[in-house]
């Protein structure tokens, strides 16, 4: 998801300084530090920070040429608003905790709540808050209209826009501007909310994900990017040059180490999963390979996550084609799926992943994917155990609700949430031991 003003679900401390040199067998001491997707019954995009998914009131893929105000909401009664929130929970909520919850008890709650008149909008919002609190889920919560609006303007592009994926009449994805920061770079240059993105620097983006296009928009501060947009549903097409201002900082530090005075090891520290993570990690891996690295250490300690899609794409860099990255589980059939690698690995060298109790979410997806597919050993402490997917639904008055709708399960079918991932070693072992461990891991799978 990464400059996360609105979407971080866990507090972080300031970014760490580059890590000190490696020494075996001690671990490196490093200071502590939600593909925005849109759906309403149908998944239309890619997951953002900690698995957050956005959900908006549904719009037909067959657009007319009348201009629509994306901020305009129909008049809704207070009772209707509460019932809308209740229905979203009833249809999508995945119960994952120890708190008792059932559809039968939830039906009784609806009858109790709607039996009395709700006189004010403020009262309706308070009822929704109490209703969500009764789920016993720390991640399901209410968003005021102002909070939802800020979340919709979340900028992962560096030019002040937030993209959503929408299928056209042929089922192909097109990208629209969901939110835009007023007086930000894109807005000042002429991009408007609701515009369709057609190309970035003369590269057509039809069929690409919001995550992929956001990465194309990213770049060094002060440089320019040309965005071709179509204004409105049937408006004119215009190429607009936008100067980048606010960009994600690189989350990657890397260096070549000589462990035991002989073995060249590529060390990569990944602080978070933002829009630059995959691109900068690829650069680091290529440079370390050119420098002669025989093994790699990927340091995910104190990495609380970020863009889930970035984590998935990074895991694929190490896996063989056909390997499972992660399973998603939820009540919606479209959340019941396996995410599978569709490319060849960038490297074949053994990998060590350093983890601790602040390795969470997207970091745990990468760690479990490489571990369960016998591509890496895990060294350190048990990980945090954050493996839930939240969906952000917009209500008809512009407010919203965040609901837990799914969870991640590792390739070996282990539930990450609340359990974390147990490492193979507490301290960095000898490289011969690492090679033997990975060989032993892959033998049953090959048999």
Which amino acids are annotated catalytic? 361, 386
How far the first Cα of the chain sits from its last, in Å, is 39
Backbone angles phi, psi at 243, to 5 degrees: -90, 125
d(CA 402, CA 167): 23
d(CA 390, CA 34): 8
Q: At what angle do helices 308-316 and 362-372 cross, to 10 degrees?
A: 20
Partners of 204 in the β-ladder = 199
Q: Which residue has the tokens 């308070």?
A: 126
244-260 per-residue burial string, b: 16 or more CB within 10 A, e: under 16:
bbebbeebbbbbebebe
SS3 per residue for 256-324: EEEECCCEEEEEEEECCECCCHHHHHHHHHHHHHHCCCCEEEEECCCCCCECHHHHHHHHHCCCCCCCE
Please check whether residue 418 is in contact with residue 154, taking contact to mean a CB–CB distance below 8 angstroms: no
């Amino acid at each position: 998801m990464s400059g996360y003003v609105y979407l971080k679900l866990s507090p972080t401390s300031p970014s760490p300084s580059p890590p000190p040199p490696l020494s075996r067998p001690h671990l490196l001491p490093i200071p502590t530090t939600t593909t925005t997707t849109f759906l309403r019954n149908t998944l239309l995009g890619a997951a953002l920070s900690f698995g957050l998914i956005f959900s908006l009131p549904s719009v037909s893929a067959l657009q007319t040429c009348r201009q629509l105000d994306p901020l305009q909401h129909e008049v809704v009664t207070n009772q209707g608003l509460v019932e809308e929130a209740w229905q979203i929970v009833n249809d999508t909520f995945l119960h994952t905790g120890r708190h008792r919850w059932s559809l039968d008890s939830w039906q009784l709650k609806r009858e109790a709540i709607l039996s009395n008149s709700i006189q004010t909008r403020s009262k309706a919002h308070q009822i929704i808050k109490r209703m969500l609190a009764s789920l016993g889920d720390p991640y399901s919560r209410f968003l005021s209209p102002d909070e939802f609006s800020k979340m919709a303007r979340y900028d992962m592009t560096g030019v002040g826009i937030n993209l959503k994926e929408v299928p056209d009449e042929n089922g192909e994805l097109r990208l629209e501007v969901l939110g835009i920061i007023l007086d930000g770079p894109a807005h000042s240059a002429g991009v408007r909310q609701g515009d369709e993105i057609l190309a970035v620097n003369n590269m057509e983006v039809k069929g690409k994900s919001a995550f992929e296009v956001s990465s194309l928009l990213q770049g060094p501060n002060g440089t320019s990017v040309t965005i071709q947009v179509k204004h409105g549903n049937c408006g004119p097409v215009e190429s607009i040059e936008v100067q980048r201002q606010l960009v994600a900082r690189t989350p990657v530090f890397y260096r070549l180490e000589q462990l035991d005075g002989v073995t060249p090891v590529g060390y990569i520290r990944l602080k978070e999963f933002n829009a630059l993570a995959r691109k900068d990690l690829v650069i680091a891996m290529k440079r370390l390979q050119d420098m002669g690295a025989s093994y790699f250490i990927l340091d995910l300690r104190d990495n609380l996550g970020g863009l889930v899609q970035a984590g998935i794409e990074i895991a694929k860099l190490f896996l063989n084609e056909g390997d499972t990255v992660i399973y998603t589980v939820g009540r919606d059939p479209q959340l019941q799926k396996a995410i599978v690698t569709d490319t060849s690995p960038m490297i074949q060298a053994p990998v060590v992943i350093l983890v601790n109790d602040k390795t969470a979410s997207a970091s745990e997806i990468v760690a479990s994917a490489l571990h369960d597919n016998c591509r890496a050993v895990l060294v350190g402490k048990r990980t945090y155990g954050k493996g839930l997917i939240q969906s952000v639904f917009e209500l008809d008055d512009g407010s919203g609700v965040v609901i837990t709708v799914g969870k991640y399960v590792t390739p070996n079918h282990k539930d990450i949430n609340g359990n974390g991932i147990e490492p193979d070693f507490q301290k960095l072992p000898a490289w011969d031991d690492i090679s033997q461990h990975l060989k032993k891991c892959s033998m049953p799978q090959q048999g």
